[in-house]
Amino acid sequence: MSEATQRGRERPPSPPSKPVVHHTLRYADDPLAFVTEVAREYGPVAEYDIGGISFYQLSDPELVEHVLVQENQRYIKGELFQESLGTVLGDGLLTSEGEFWRRQRHLMQPAFLPQMLRRYSEVMVDYTERMLSSWEDGETRDIHGDMMSLTVEIAAKTLFDVDIREEESAVGDALETVMDYSSTSMKRPVDVPRWVPTPRNRRYQRALDDLTEVVGRIVTEHREDGPDPEANDVVSLLLTFRDDDGEPLPDEQIRDELVTILLAGHETTALALTYTLHLLGTNPEQAATLREELDAVLGGDRPGFGDLDDLTYTEQVVKEGMRVYPPVWELIREAAEPDTVGGYRVEPGQTVAVQQWVLHRDPRFYDDPLDFRPSRWTKDFERDLPKYAYFPFGGGPRRCIGDRFAMLEARLALATIAQSWTVDPTHDLSFDPSITLRPEGSVEMVVNRR
């Protein structure tokens, strides 16, 4: 092997670019089409420049596994991610790094153990039924708005042990403002500094203040109730923690973790439910198969944790929904150490991007990849599928801590809804992809009682 090959080739192939703006305008026009075209035309490793930042796009499952798993210690979330979410999440689990992150993840792990999931399942069904009680036969609803409200209420009750229904509107608005600001910032590498009192910046600061106030009230109520050594909700775990010197976590750290849970713990599941319901509404045959399974297994009873093993098609529907429309459509990492990926040298500071959107729709792994076909998810299919051809929850040590929680919630909420209601979308989906695969505007559907 030559010395040059051992070092790795210097630069990956790149699409034609324009002076100064490089690929920024093409990307901004349609990010999803752009990354798909790059993957299909320029191979497993390609380079593009957006806003003066060089991205290496990896479009092969083995390369994704290399970055997320095998050489994960060489990569961090990076400056771009911190700039977009660091202000709101601080040193929460989503943004922290290194040993500090490992300690925090270990601390919160008990809230996501299997025995806790069984307990959460009752709340998930209760709250979904509570939401459905507000639906009227034949009305048009913003289903995404409904799913966002539902999942934030479930996250607060199961993980914080509080019912925030009366505050949900304010919390939801604050979370939406924060996410919209962070998403826009990620797409604008050069933006107005946050300290400049523009209307956008003032709205963002008010939203941060509202979230901090709500979280502070939750913590105060838990403290007033006194410590419960048997409790495994996230707030109790954070409040009872003591370090090696017997010191508790600072209030600011508790705030960061709770806001992270609220933000990350509800939007992605809400998106999964929204898009899966839309797919069912536009694929009547698959929707009928789902209803047949629900009728056969549940017999009119409400779904529960013990029914999940028999609701195999329901799980296939959720998996396929997240394949076609992955709520997290892209993961970004920054090299902290030198590496070689796909034969190309990766220097420290280089940004690396892997897209679930691209690999989940890759015809090498999925027949008719644009078709919504839940039945493809057989055990044989999953066994033969390359591991990182499907990774809706990321992978490696930083795989989403709430992946089992999210799958449980999505299956139970979907079963509860589809058992009694059908949905009919009023328009096609359009997207505003940023940190997540957000819809552009509302996602309206006509709901009809079965």
Do 341 and 75 touch, CB atoms closer than 8 A? no
Q: Which DSSP letter does residue 249 get?
A: P
**Number of domains observed in the structure of the chain:** 1
Helix (H, G, I), strand (E, B) or coil at 421: strand
Length of the chain: 450
Q: How far apart are CA 272 and CA 378, in angstroms?
A: 20
Q: List the beta bridge partners of residue 447.
A: 423
Residue 191 has pLDDT above 80, yes or no: no
Q: To which H or E segment does residue 146 belong?
A: helix 143-160
Alpha helices in 299-423, H assignment, sequence order: 312-324, 356-359, 379-384, 403-420
431: confidence class by pLDDT, cuts 50, 70, 90: very high
- pLDDT by residue (tens digit) across 207-266? 888 888 888 999 998 888 876 767 778 998 899 888 888 888 999 999 999 988 888 878
Q: Are 374 and 317 in contact (CB under 8 A)?
A: yes
Tokens 């009928």 belong to residue: 288
What does the pLDDT look like over 81-107, one tens digit per residue? 887 788 888 888 888 999 999 999 999
Is 425 within 8 Å of 140 (Cβ atoms)? no
Burial of 122 (0-12, 13-18, 19+ CB in 10 A): middle
H or E stretch covering 345: strand 344-346
Q: How far apart are CA 258 and CA 222, in angstroms?
A: 13
- Could you read off the pLDDT of 136-162 as tens digits, one per residue? 999 999 999 999 999 999 999 999 999
261/264 Cα distance (integer angstroms): 5
CATH number at residue 58: 1.10.630.10
Write out the residue range of the structural domain in which residue 226 sits.
3-449
φ and ψ of 48, to 5 deg: -145, 165
% pLDDT > 70, the chain? 95
The region of weakest confidence among 262-266, 300-304, 391-395 is 262-266
Mean pLDDT of the chain: 91
b or e along 12-42 (b: 16 or more beta carbons within 10 Å of the residue's beta carbon)? bebbeeeeeebbbebbeeebbebbbebbeeb
Rg of the Cα atoms in the chain: 22
State both tokens at 406: 């999210």
Nearest to 152 by CA among 274, 276, 262: 262
CB 305 within 8 A of CB 121: yes
